[in-house]
Amino acid sequence: MARGCGMKMKISKTVYINTMGCQMNVVDTEQIEKILSTIGYERTLSLDTADLIIANTCAIREKAQQKAFSFLGRLAGLKKRKAGLIVSIGGCVAQQEGERILKRMPYVDLVFGTDAICRLPEMVQQIEVEKCRVIDVETTTSVNEFENGIALHNHREAAKFVTIMQGCDNYCTYCVVPYVRGREKSRASGKIIKEIRELAKSGVREVTLLGQNVNSYGKKEGLCTFAELLRQVNEIEGILRIRFTTSHPKDLSDDLIGAFHSVEKLCDHVHLPIQSGSNAVLKRMNRKYTREEYLTKVDRLRQACPGIAISSDIIVGFPGETEDDFLDTLDLIKLAGYNSLFTFNYSDRPNAPAAAFPNKVHPAEQKARLQSVLSLQESITTQKNSELVGSTAQILVEGKSKKQRLNDVNPNGQAIQWSGRTSTNKVVNFIRNDHEGPGDELLPGKLVHVEIEKALAHSLWGKLVEAEPFGLKGKKYYAA
Ligand code: 5AD
Ligand code: SF4
């Protein structure tokens, strides 16, 4: 079989990849797709006709893991009906469960861990030839390196994730990540910059720098600081916006806070997971900050960048969380004035110390607390969104909106609903009903101005007022 040498391979086989979980898995899936193309696999959206099926799984919460197993369960019948089908599981559940999956699911041919993606071609070919079962959950201390940029040339998406580090050393007591993604390891800044330059050349306009704790980027390896990396990315021609996720509050340095003021392309949004508003719970979670320290950082961020949007993660029902602890969380949510929130019911995870903590909160109580958080945040978000009606927002167009609303199609039937994000990470859908400026096909990847006409719970709607060609207008001047 011809490989490498830049030769285009004849595509003969297809792979269906079900990506579950976080952005790390989204990036891993892109890498899986790229590396499997070297042995002739093309991505398909048809489960029934695929030659190879991969479940790229997430283990962060119990529910995510159940979802992975229920997807795999559905494949047992398919495997029986289709000779030669290869069923495979990758990602965090594969890393965590390893051998147990082969024992429990006789129809699974391949189990590969989070560090084994680079060895996929050999493993798949071995299964094709020998009809055997293979497992590889080896971990490594070095970072997985893939030249994403080249693979992504075909996609022409406006916004992309770029992994800058993997793993985590924080050991929050509820979290499985250090056990399934390994120790923290950062990529060399030169490689990151090279990859982003390639992405920019291929039409990508926004990059989100990805890691479990980006603020501690390069510390271990003695590389540049994360704020310095942001300044380097800011210099890359063609890139219009920079985002990053996730930041651990304890490592949010003054230098990084200052970057929201001084790094022109850095978007006005930070995801800063608090997890709980109770100091007692934060201590048991091993988060290494207090609510007071957290709120001081929120104030500093708002001083550096007055319009900054802040989002967060909250876990409700952590073992031993009392009613008063929970009230502290509600209070903190109000004080922080989050723009959006991701909320989770605590669940025990294998290896995570909190699984052995006493005083588990009853599921019914957890459910009620989750509901209280959701409705509080919904009222805050609705209020914040409604304040934006009538303002003009600069958005980066990502593509057509998901929900095409028939009523909004203009009389000529030519309007298309587009979707993009503000610098503050709000989704704005808009109708293009003029015929000036760039052609519709050129809209994705453009910064445009949209007048906000309507605020819904999770998105904003507006109309295009100016489609400008490439170029950053001073980022601080747009209300949304
Ligand atoms: N139970 C519930 N939520 C969890 N998270 C991580 N581990 C758990 C767990 N065991 C949440 C945290 C984290 C987000 C990605 O998932 O809020 O920030
Ligand atoms: Fe998990 Fe804590 Fe690391 Fe985040 S910082 S990945 S919650 S251990």
212 CA closest ligand 2 atom index: 6
Cβ(170) to ligand 2 under 6 A? yes
Going from the Cα of 140 to the center of ligand 1, the distance in angstroms, rounded, reads 24
* CA of 360, nearest ligand number: 1
Q: Whose CA is nearest to atom 2 of ligand 2?
A: 172
Domain 13-136 has CATH 3.30.1280.10: no
Cβ(181) to ligand 2 under 6 A? no
354 CA closest ligand 1 atom index: 10
- Burial state string for 406-439 with b = 16 or more CB within 10 A and e = fewer than 16: eebeeeeeebbbbbbbbbbbbbbbbbbeeeebee
Domain boundaries of the chain, sorted by first residue: 13-136, 143-386, 392-477
Going from the Cα of 454 to the center of ligand 2, the distance in angstroms, rounded, reads 37
The CA–CA distances, whole Å, from 423 to 278, 344, 396, 454, 473 equal 31, 26, 8, 18, 12
248 CA closest ligand 2 atom index: 5
Alpha carbon distance 418, 433 (integer Å): 11
DSSP per position, 71-124: HHHHHHHHHHHSTT-EEEEEHHHHHHHTHHHHHH-TT--EEE-TT-GGGHHHHH
Going from the Cα of 246 to the center of ligand 2, the distance in angstroms, rounded, reads 9
Cβ(215) to ligand 2 under 6 A? no
R_g of the chain, CA atoms, integer Å: 23
Q: Whose CA is nearest to atom 5 of ligand 2?
A: 170
- pTM score > 0.85 for this model? yes
Q: Are strands 460-467 and 447-455 parallel, antiparallel or unpaired?
A: antiparallel
Same fold, 13-136 and 143-386: no
Question: Which residue type does 243 have?
Answer: R
169 CA closest ligand 2 atom index: 3
348 CA closest ligand 1 atom index: 10
Cβ(171) to ligand 2 under 6 A? yes
Going from the Cα of 248 to the center of ligand 2, the distance in angstroms, rounded, reads 8
Q: Say what the pLDDT of residue 431 is.
A: 76
Cβ(166) to ligand 2 under 6 A? no
Tens place of pLDDT for every residue, the chain, 480 residues?
Answer: 333 334 445 558 999 999 999 899 999 999 999 999 999 999 999 999 999 999 999 999 999 999 999 999 999 999 999 989 999 999 999 999 999 999 999 999 999 998 899 999 999 999 999 999 999 998 876 766 655 444 444 445 889 999 999 999 999 999 999 999 889 999 999 999 999 999 999 999 999 999 999 999 999 999 999 999 999 999 999 999 999 999 999 999 999 999 999 999 999 999 999 999 999 999 999 999 999 999 999 999 999 999 999 999 999 999 999 999 999 999 999 999 999 999 999 999 999 999 999 999 999 999 999 999 999 999 999 999 999 999 999 999 888 776 654 444 444 445 567 889 999 999 999 876 655 445 566 678 888 899 999 998 778 999 888 755 434 434 433 333
Q: Residue 473, SS3?
A: coil
Q: In what order do the strands lie in the sheet with 241-245?
A: 159-163, 206-210, 241-245
Going from the Cα of 287 to the center of ligand 2, the distance in angstroms, rounded, reads 9
The CA–CA distances, whole Å, from 430 to 92, 140, 382, 410, 446 equal 37, 46, 19, 12, 14
Going from the Cα of 14 to the center of ligand 1, the distance in angstroms, rounded, reads 34
Alpha carbon distance 195, 160 (integer Å): 11
Alpha carbon distance 447, 265 (integer Å): 12
Cβ(338) to ligand 1 under 6 A? no
Segment 59-77, tens digit of pLDDT: 999 999 999 999 999 999 9
Cβ(313) to ligand 1 under 6 A? yes
Which backbone phi and psi does 204 adopt, to 5 degrees?
A: -75, 135
Which backbone phi and psi does 55 adopt, to 5 degrees?
A: -100, 110
178 CA closest ligand 2 atom index: 8
Q: Say what the pLDDT of residue 234 is.
A: 97
Report whether 417 contacts 408 (CB < 8 A): yes
Alpha carbon distance 389, 357 (integer Å): 47
Pocket test for ligand 1, best of 23, 24, 61, 63 (most atoms within 8 A of CB): 61
Q: Say what the pLDDT of residue 296 is.
A: 98
DSSP per position, 25-88: HHHHHHHHHHHHHTTTEEE-S-TTT-SEEEEEE--SSHHHHHHHHHHHHHHHHHHHHSTT-EEE
Q: Whose CA is nearest to atom 18 of ligand 1?
A: 313
Going from the Cα of 470 to the center of ligand 2, the distance in angstroms, rounded, reads 37
Going from the Cα of 273 to the center of ligand 2, the distance in angstroms, rounded, reads 10
Q: Say what the pLDDT of residue 149 is.
A: 41
Cβ(149) to ligand 1 under 6 A? no
Alpha carbon distance 104, 407 (integer Å): 51
Q: CA torsion sign, 323 to 325 to 331 to 336?
A: negative
Q: Which CATH number fits the domain 143-386, given the four candidates 3.80.30.20, 3.40.50.2300, 3.40.50.300, 3.60.150.10?
A: 3.80.30.20
Neighbours of 175 (CB within 10 A): 23
* Exposed / middle / buried, residue 355 (Cβ in 10 Å: 0-12, 13-18, 19+): middle
Segment 39-64, tens digit of pLDDT: 999 999 999 999 999 999 999 999 99
Report whether 260 contacts 304 (CB < 8 A): yes
Q: Say what the pLDDT of residue 439 is.
A: 58
Cβ(167) to ligand 2 under 6 A? no
Pocket test for ligand 1, best of 24, 174, 274, 370 (most atoms within 8 A of CB): 174
Going from the Cα of 211 to the center of ligand 2, the distance in angstroms, rounded, reads 10
Peptide bond into 246 cis (omega under 30): yes
Cβ(248) to ligand 2 under 6 A? yes
In the block, residue with structure tokens 């792979």: 15
349 CA closest ligand 1 atom index: 10
Contacts of 464 (CB under 8 A, 6+ apart): 418, 430, 431, 432, 433, 434, 448, 449, 450
Contacts of 349 (CB under 8 A, 6+ apart): 59, 60, 61, 62, 174, 175, 176, 355
CATH number of 392-477: 2.40.50.140
Cβ(287) to ligand 1 under 6 A? no
